[in-house]
Amino acid sequence: MTQTTFVGIGVSKATIDAFINGFNEHKVFTNTFRGYDALLNWIGKHVPDSGCKELRVCFEHTGLYSIPLATYLAKASIPFCMISALQIKRSLGIARGKTDRIDTKIIADYAYTFREKLILTKLPDREIMQLHLLLSLRDRLVKTRAGFEAPKDEQKRFLMHSDVLDFSPVYSTLIEQIKVQEKQIDKTIQLIISRTPELKTTFDLITSIKGVGKIVGAYMIVYTHNFTRFSTWRKFACFAGTAPFQNESGTTYRGKTKVSSLANKKIKKMLHISSLCASRYDTELSAYYHKRVQVGKSKMATLNILRNKILARIFAVATRRSAYVDLNKYAA
């Protein structure tokens, strides 16, 4: 019987540290394709009979730094798991000290300990990865533009009638240039979606829901990997931070049911914008929102309910592959 070998890897900008579980072997490689080749050769020397099927490479998801390694392993058909750093940290218990060698050993030990629960990572399609990068760039541009708009408005308010040098033209020029780039990114996003039939079908379906605009629709496609990453909207609600959890213990402590702070803040923000829009322009959700507020319910709690209602609608139309139907139009 062949035994599975678990390799823990710590990924940084310039290097990757690898540790082979059970062999107490550690080595550092460059975070390049040449370094990845050397990594596989090194693993093969210590575990010559392992083979790709009996090998599990596990590493933390460190954003851009880990994507080249994940792409390389996927092309080489080597099973790998990208694991949340917080998930590994909370599994340690009490720990002291920190080095790269210790970190990689911890990752390898984690993979071995939870080997029955490990879920192999599958990279999304190339188009989804492109959309993710474009949306991230767009988000940075929006934040940068907001950073220029605030001081521009302040100068206009307080320095309008003073002799101090006015930088408003500079701010205006930068803001307009950023807006041009934002529009170009939006066009590119729409072009990628329109050229991919599966993405276009899903995009058209979910944007038929009131409150789900083009950007929100693109984010939903990216974070759900075109609705293949999460089986139900409830699991995605947990990921997005809109699912409420009980907070109680024993017979005396009864805390307030609330959402968790462990969430993807970006998609939560986008869903919040959708819920605000739906509370105004969707007949059913608007009536529900005002009814709860009038009887004294919290506005934020009600908006969170709207977020989940919108998520349920999005997953419904995406999975059944039919457009959303507003039944209120046909009400007597």
pLDDT per residue over 252-261, tens digit each?
888 888 888 8
> What is the CATH T-level fold of the domain 5-113, as seen in this structure?
Nucleotidyltransferase; domain 5 (3.30.420)
Predicted confidence (pLDDT) per residue in 193-249, tens digit? 999 999 999 999 999 999 999 999 999 999 999 999 999 999 999 999 999 988 888
The CB density around residue 78, as the number of other CB atoms within 10 Å, is 18
**CB within 8 Å of 331: residues ≥ 6 apart:** none
- Between CA 270 and CA 278, with CA 272 as vertex, the angle to 5 degrees is 105
Q: Tally the residues of the chain.
A: 332
Element (H, E) at 66: none
Rg of the Cα trace of the chain? 25
Residue 26 backbone phi and psi in degrees, to 5: -135, 140
Maximum mean pLDDT: which of 23-37, 146-160, 318-332: 23-37
Say what the pLDDT of residue 107 is.
93
Average pLDDT of every residue of the chain: 89
**pTM for the structure as a whole:** 0.88
